[in-house]
Structure 1
């Protein structure tokens, strides 16, 4: 069998972007499985959620947003540390960049390697890669919960840590009055999960339990379309949980039987593909997903740092 093109390196076609207004001053930009971003209007300021991969890409998003509001960006909220989510931050001119305290630690520990890794995996997202001035450093961090008063009668925006999941430091942004949740990559709506830096057992259990307990009636996941209605929001959460549980079951079965990482990948691919194989970045993500879960089930508690060289080695071993 011929080896597949590395990760998303062959995915060079432009995606259609859709800007949705989910309520008064509540925005979400989706793009056919590319990373989602959003914004929330305060009385006299904006909170932006996620920063995209480069300042050039971020400025294109901001130009769309400026057709609806001219309020300045006071807060830029980053759900986690991955390069395609954070390296466009300089375009926002935000007074405050907010992230979980573990996210800041992860930037320090592995931010440079992740930058090189993700831009090689997804070159189309790295639009004008030379415009990135350097790593994005949060200026405000928290451990459990941070509340932003939006002013006037707009209520609060609650930034919440729900537990280890997609990374050690994922946060969600929750509008309790409007029941709108920006879930980051803890929930994907018909887009494959990337779990190469994940804690699969926590994510599939207590972390998603905590996300579901918020009771959202509209959810913006990390990728995919906006999910609307409580039943569909819960279904998206449970689809995410099912993907993780199938992985845990299949990789665990091969490990317990004394099999190999390659066998675990092939068995997991066969189990997931009928339901999830058509979803964006399924083939891209799965080798890295299975590799991390193999390590986790083998007692490696924290994810091994991905480098561009390690990416290629794992891809060659599994996707061939």
Structure 2
């Protein structure tokens, strides 16, 4: 049974930060299942992948970067556009903000609504929200692939297909086989699928699996330090998405109400995934999108604070 308020509104505890080194110039800023930030350091410049939700929270990332390099932070890569990932960008003073063409389209279409919706859902992740002055806009938009040389550090950037959003963008260090996946891959954390393309996402993950990464920074969860753990994370993310969509589609085919499909998904998925981080927070939004897609809605509905509450009310009868 769903609770009367978002599970995330009661998530107030401080998380322990880890700044892990995956290889030469490759780092991951993680915090016990909170959104991860990637850092890539070259001889000439630094690239930050996903910026945290506010400029105040971004200062924690900058403090860790300055422990390992004094090189300028010249690039930010938005792996996709969700407020918790991007609204801290102003703190870095980067010359270039990179995003995919499909991500740019989402900012235009729903950037403001996303900010307002996410802030209401998960207030702890927006510490210092008053420091956010505007949406984050890219000045380099990628349609296809882009290679950035940070100085003896080649970063390949591409949008491998629709998944967590239509515009997910990964960074790949081919010389070290290090993958920064954004929220296309999670590890011990529940995929959020409210803006997802659930039929496409497993195929997109298959393209990442074919890279055979040996290190991986997921969207949430610990940095992965060997090929076996990378494969496990990608396979487990695929399994969650498949179970979710197949169960939702079954409910739609039986003409079940959203509330009943949610109960069916929880019954089947709790034993496998219920221990994952933010599971109770994500599942209502995940099931709502899975039902929409199973009914034929290709482009996800825009989440607003009002729609969040309408969905919550429907699940609670």
TM-score normalised according to structure 2 size: 0.97
8 Å contact from structure 2 (residues 181, 218) kept in 1: yes
8 Å contact from structure 1 (residues 6, 284) kept in 2: yes
Structure-1 residue corresponding to 2:258: 261
Give the Cα–Cα distance (whole angstroms) in 1 for the partners of residues 274 and 196 of structure 2: 20
1:24 Cα deviation (Å)? 1.9
Structure-2 residue corresponding to 1:19: 19
Give the Cα–Cα distance (whole angstroms) in 1 for the partners of residues 298 and 23 of structure 2: 41
Give the Cα–Cα distance (whole angstroms) in 1 for the partners of residues 298 and 52 of structure 2: 29
1:23 Cα deviation (Å)? 1.4
Q: Cα deviations across residues 68-123 of structure 1 (Å, max 9, x unaligned)?
A: 11110111001001000000000010010000011111111100000000011110
Give the Cα–Cα distance (whole angstroms) in 2 for the partners of residues 51 and 9 of structure 1: 22
Structure-1 residue corresponding to 2:182: 184
8 Å contact from structure 1 (residues 75, 97) kept in 2: yes
Give the Cα–Cα distance (whole angstroms) in 1 for the partners of residues 130 and 47 of structure 2: 26
| Cα RMSD for the two superposed structures | 1.2
1:142 Cα deviation (Å)? 0.8
Helix, strand or coil for the counterpart of 2:200? helix
User: Unpaired segments of 5 or more residues in structure 2?
Assistant: none
1:302 Cα deviation (Å)? 0.3
Give the Cα–Cα distance (whole angstroms) in 2 for the partners of residues 2 and 277 of structure 1: 14
Structure-2 residue corresponding to 1:218: 215
1:128 Cα deviation (Å)? 0.8
TM-score normalised according to structure 1 size: 0.97
Helix, strand or coil for the counterpart of 1:67? helix
Helix, strand or coil for the counterpart of 1:66? helix
Structure-2 residue corresponding to 1:244: 241
8 Å contact from structure 2 (residues 22, 225) kept in 1: no
1:4 Cα deviation (Å)? 4.3
Give the Cα–Cα distance (whole angstroms) in 2 for the partners of residues 315 and 228 of structure 1: 38
Worse-matched range after superposition: 81-90 or 308-317: 308-317
Kindly tell me the number of residue pairs found equivalent between the two proteins: 317
1:297 Cα deviation (Å)? 1.0
**Structure 1 runs, 4 residues or longer, greater than 2 Å off:** 1-5
1:319 Cα deviation (Å)? 5.3
8 Å contact from structure 1 (residues 6, 312) kept in 2: no
Q: Cα deviations across residues 144-185 of structure 1 (Å, max 9, x unaligned)?
A: 211112323x3x100111100000000111001011100000
Helix, strand or coil for the counterpart of 1:197? coil
Give the Cα–Cα distance (whole angstroms) in 2 for the partners of residues 319 and 43 of structure 1: 55
Structure-2 residue corresponding to 1:291: 288
2:79 matched to 1:82?
no
Helix, strand or coil for the counterpart of 2:9? coil
